Amino acid sequence: MSKTQQAAPRMAPFEHNVIYAILNQKGGAGKTTTSIGLGEAMALDGLDVVVVDSDPQGSARDYEAMALHHEKPLAVRVVGVDRPVLDKSVPPMKEQFRIIDGASKANELTMSAIKAADIVIIPVQPSPLDMWGTSDLVDMIKMNMEARDGGPRPLKAYFLVTQAKDGTILDGLADEGLSGYGFPVLKTRLHDLEDYKKCALDGRTPMTAFPRGDAAAELRALKDEILEISKR
């Protein structure tokens, strides 16, 4: 879908700006899939949104480049800021919604993203090793929450279960396994669906490649849930 085909801008759901950080220091958690998918869902709904690629590997920028190569540009704008200055460079951006696609294994970049964020989303696969692997990130977020307690920009954090497989034992234990960290788990889950893999081959998202599919439906549901928790 071209830029000219995306939805006309609609009235913002609220007046304040929101910065999201999609973070997990473990690779393969679905950070870029979540960031691009959420950004595209927002953009196609007429919202003013940008994805900020903070990973030096440039996965989100590569995704956008693939889309342009196949003449199927994303509806959402992607910019690169892969230096630990996110808390200074992202807040002044003009878009109302800014989604930071977090870096892997980069503590300075991760902390900078947390400082910039209003809401941190932690994508995590429903397996014990992946859930245990978030402990250092959770500690960093809680430290920042304490530093901002009582201030004008309180920090929220949520887990997002990714690559879920309904009916499996691990999927059923995900909520229980994450409950000990003290952050809520989003109701929406992103499943292990072929649509995510197939559409990435030419830089599209499920929103445009398979708009009536299950992946597109859960991305729209994620967008709606994220907007709901963004209200003040």
The pLDDT tens digits for 50-104 are 999 999 999 999 999 999 999 999 999 999 999 999 999 999 999 999 999 999 8
Query: What local confidence, expressed as pLDDT, does residue 25 receive?
Result: 84
What is the helix (H) or strand (E) element at residue 112, kind and residue range? Answer: helix 107-116
Query: What local confidence, expressed as pLDDT, does residue 6 receive?
Result: 56
Buried b vs exposed e over 23-45: b needs ≥16 C-beta within 10 Å? bbbbeebbbbbbbbbbbbbbbbb
Q: One digit per residue, pLDDT tens: the chain, 232 residues?
A: 444 345 666 777 889 999 999 999 888 899 999 999 999 999 999 999 999 999 999 999 999 999 999 999 999 999 999 999 999 999 999 999 999 999 987 789 999 999 999 999 999 998 888 888 899 999 999 999 999 998 889 999 999 999 998 877 667 778 888 988 999 999 999 999 999 999 988 999 999 999 999 999 999 999 999 999 999 8
CATH architecture group of domain 3-229: 3-Layer(aba) Sandwich (3.40)
Q: From residue 5, how far is each of 9, 44, 82, 100, 219 by CA, in Å?
A: 12, 9, 30, 25, 19
**What is the model's pTM?**
0.93
Question: What are the structure tokens assigned to 171, written together?
Answer: 């999927």
Query: What local confidence, expressed as pLDDT, does residue 7 receive?
Result: 64
For the chain, the structural domain boundaries read 3-229
- List the beta bridge partners of residue 137: none
Torsion of Cα atoms, 31 then 36 then 42 then 47, to 10°: 110
